[in-house]
Structure 1
Amino acid sequence: MPATPITPPMQDDKIAWVRVSSCFLPLATPISDAKVLTGRQKPMTEIAILFAEIETTGGHSGIGFSYSKRAGGPGQFAHAKEIVDRLLGEDPNDIARLWDKLCWAGASVGRSGLSTQAIGAFDVALWDMKAKRAGLPLAKLLGAHRDSVRCYNTSGGFLHTPLEQLLVNTRLSREKGIGGIKLKVGQPDCALDIRRVEAVRKHLGDDFPLMVDANQQWDRPTAQRMCRIFEQFNLIWIEEPLDCYDNEGHAALAAQFDTPIATGEMLTSAAEHAELIRHRAADYVMPDAPRVGGITPFLKVAGLAEHAGLMLAPHFAMELHVHLAAAYPREPWVEHFEWLEPLFNERLETADGRMLVPKRPGLGVSISEQARRWTREQFEVGQRP
């Protein structure tokens, strides 16, 4: 009988090969939120994706990703290229130590923002590998509290969408088993926002979960007025009514109004989230794992939020956040965005208002051939085993 191959012990495994790829995902329709209508940004036409693929001497592999909207994608890729060689020969189990090593490799440009977003792709890939090696979905590796998570749709509620189509989109989302609807607000003419929210609330009924998102475009007096007006619509939350760094202003709104305040998606480090939480500036904390630098710092944010008794609603990237939300003690929300689906061969399922946690090991996704065709640059170090 032939001998059974012996897998090297985990502690003897070393990172042998890493590839980073810069992929640009085109959007079917230019996307506009309040930042476009106030003239601060252009409509979004594509999303830059930074992929990291890691393989080890023991034959294990993992994939991770980060992203950037409108600008910054080439910068993330450039920084990833500069630091990727620091991973070669390292033990892939030492994820926290490797995060610190990569962070300090580029510390002169800061320990938040673009530099740590580049690290995020590597960090996610290492966690994906660790879960695959254990034969577990990432949520189970982290310690899941549930097998499905409440989900809400955002992609159908942008400001470029006419009201009639908005109502169609909400119906389609409900038919897909999605459990909530989020509308973009923050237009220069507040009356238009009120009209749209009123129409959608009437269309959905009094109790169906409805959220709004001003994308940081109100000043304090406007936010005060709009939060007061929106109290009548029984909203799950009002998102980013103020600039993301205005912790005092958000805290005042959270203390004054019954409708919960949500913010945090634009913060780019665990330290920035710690300040938000210290100020009690949100009822719902909205960390984005790729933006804060991956799963390792995300877990720090989640620990702080849980200790403070806050609710959690991770931003974007549902393919990753469904796992992280499933591991949060309090019942969270996950944002349903189908935009990234063409990047992967697998699809997430929704039913009865919830997103099902994949049962496949790791993240449960693999990079599609379409994503390979959209890739503009690649860089490799090491040798594939």
Structure 2
Amino acid sequence: MFRYNFDEKLSFYKAIYYEFDPIPLPRVFQDGTGGLGQFAPERGCIELYDSQGFVAHYLAIDKTFIDTILPLILTGETKTFNQWREFLYWKVRNSGFQSEKAVCLGKMDTLMLDLLAQHKNMPLHRFLGATKDWANAYKGGGSILLEDSELVDDMQRYVSEGYKTVKFKVGSADIERDLRRVDKVRSALGHDIEIAVDANQKWDVATATRFAQLIEPYHLAWLEEPIHANDMNGIRNLKEQGINVPIAFGESMRISYEFEIYAEKGVDVLQPSVGRMTRMDDLLAIRDLARDKGLRFTSGGRVYLCALFGTLFNENELIEFHEPISQPMSEYALNIPEERDGRFYLPADIPGNPQRLNLEKLEYEGLLRFKKYFYSNR
């Protein structure tokens, strides 16, 4: 299994946490479970300073990270990347690896990798081994709240922008409505464009089986999370029913071991979410698992971070651009990847992770609530 192994030592002396008001979405977004809403999920970001004066940035940090991680690292101690990982693992282990505390470990991973890349004066993706500066993407959206014609318009626009794979939500109160929308989108896009749908764990096995059978003539790229993400035997039962549409799971899981179980149970598409992992090298471990098992691999999460790791994937291993949720936050960020023809291109001349929050714009628009300083106790 792929694992990072960096011996360079790190010590942290200061952090600045910025909290801002919710960023409104242009339109309320809803999946089949009623999830999401009218605001982007991000509420804060952090700058982490090491003892050499380098600064790492993370655009989606919350108070859980501030309360859990900062007291453990702002101690004046010096450890290697792997030693910090080991130390922090044992501190949060008893919280469980689906917990928000566990997810903080992956965010700390990213901050440390950012610093290590800056030490080498290399863009982070190149430091991690990327040989290209872009990632192939698919585009997702398709709120349950959209009228059929609005959904079709959005999917057609995505294709006109260069995307070969698009995704929208299913799981409305009326399964016949979902089927009608699949039919309308397929008719509008033709058969050369991949279409995926996401049920956000809405159904039981019987309903998911029925839906999968009904959509079979439309040759979907995948059906995402049709049942509860932890219902491993339910997934096995789905496959035993003989459904032919590929099923996808992963964004609800935090660690690579769960993906091994998914593969054993018959999941066809493994989908880790970048900002939710407990270790960032798990992304590559899951990628390699998919390759070894002949499964499809895609990666979700906020596209500005996802693209960075997506440079390590091949052309058929796509990252997700969930436009309705990601685009509004991108308006308040600097040095983010450039969207062009179904790909995201990273800056190739900025050391570390180039992405920054546009604090001046947030402050100008009255959205920046406060910033708080934290210092090493030594």
- Please tell me the TM-score bracket, short chain as reference: 0.7 to 0.9
Which of 34, 45, 51 in structure 1 is aligned with 2:32? 34
Q: Identify the residue that residue 245 of structure 2 maps to in structure 1.
A: 259
Q: Identify the residue that residue 357 of structure 2 maps to in structure 1.
A: 367
Which of 361, 365, 373 in structure 2 is aligned with 1:380? 373
Cα distance change of structure 1 residues 189 and 279 upon mapping to structure 2, 3 Å threshold: same
Contact 1:120–1:295 (CA<8 Å) still a contact in 2?
A: yes
TM-score by length of 1: 0.83
Match status 1:122 vs 2:122: no
Q: Which amino acid aligns with 2:356?
A: S
Which of 179, 188, 201 in structure 2 is aligned with 1:203? 188
1:174-213 superposed matches below 5 A: 174-213=159-198
Q: Which amino acid aligns with 1:311?
A: R
* Post-superposition CA distance 1:86-142 (Å, at most 9, x none): 2233447x3333233223223343333211223333222212222233333333222
Match status 1:293 vs 2:291: no
Q: Which amino acid aligns with 1:374?
A: L
Q: Identify the residue that residue 4 of structure 2 maps to in structure 1.
A: none
- Between the aligned partners of 2:217 and 2:236, the Cα distance in structure 1 is 21
* Post-superposition CA distance 1:219-271 (Å, at most 9, x none): 11111111112121121111111110122332444563333211111113334
Cα distance change of structure 1 residues 57 and 250 upon mapping to structure 2, 3 Å threshold: same
Contact 1:77–1:118 (CA<8 Å) still a contact in 2?
A: no
- Between the aligned partners of 1:11 and 1:132, the Cα distance in structure 2 is 12
Contact 1:183–1:197 (CA<8 Å) still a contact in 2?
A: no
Q: Give aligned-pair identity as a percent.
A: 23
- Between the aligned partners of 2:154 and 2:36, the Cα distance in structure 1 is 23
Contact 1:27–1:339 (CA<8 Å) still a contact in 2?
A: yes
Contact 1:254–1:283 (CA<8 Å) still a contact in 2?
A: no
What secondary structure does 1:35 align onto?
A: coil
Q: Which amino acid aligns with 2:58?
A: G
Q: Identify the residue that residue 16 of structure 1 maps to in structure 2.
A: 13
1:150-299 superposed matches below 5 A: 150-155=136-141, 157-254=142-239, 256-280=242-266, 282-299=267-284
Shift of 1:166: 1.6
Q: Which amino acid aligns with 2:67?
A: K
State the Cα RMSD in Å: 2.8
Match status 1:59 vs 2:57: no
Q: Which amino acid aligns with 2:160?
A: E
Contact 1:113–1:292 (CA<8 Å) still a contact in 2?
A: no
Q: Which amino acid aligns with 2:223?
A: I
Cα distance change of structure 1 residues 21 and 254 upon mapping to structure 2, 3 Å threshold: farther
- Between the aligned partners of 1:66 and 1:296, the Cα distance in structure 2 is 19
What secondary structure does 2:15 align onto?
A: strand
Contact 1:119–1:293 (CA<8 Å) still a contact in 2?
A: yes
Match status 1:333 vs 2:323: no
Match status 1:348 vs 2:337: yes
- Between the aligned partners of 1:82 and 1:365, the Cα distance in structure 2 is 24
* Post-superposition CA distance 1:271-328 (Å, at most 9, x none): 4334323433x21111112212352443443344444333221122111112222213
Contact 1:150–1:334 (CA<8 Å) still a contact in 2?
A: yes
Q: Which amino acid aligns with 1:20?
A: Y
What secondary structure does 2:206 align onto?
A: helix
Q: Which amino acid aligns with 1:54?
A: L
- Between the aligned partners of 1:275 and 1:307, the Cα distance in structure 2 is 14
Cα distance change of structure 1 residues 49 and 90 upon mapping to structure 2, 3 Å threshold: farther
Q: Which runs of 5+ in 1 are unaligned?
A: 1-9, 68-75
- Between the aligned partners of 2:196 and 2:236, the Cα distance in structure 1 is 19
Shift of 1:12: 6.4
- Number of aligned positions between the proteins: 360
Cα distance change of structure 1 residues 347 and 289 upon mapping to structure 2, 3 Å threshold: closer
Q: Which amino acid aligns with 1:14?
A: S
Contact 1:149–1:354 (CA<8 Å) still a contact in 2?
A: yes
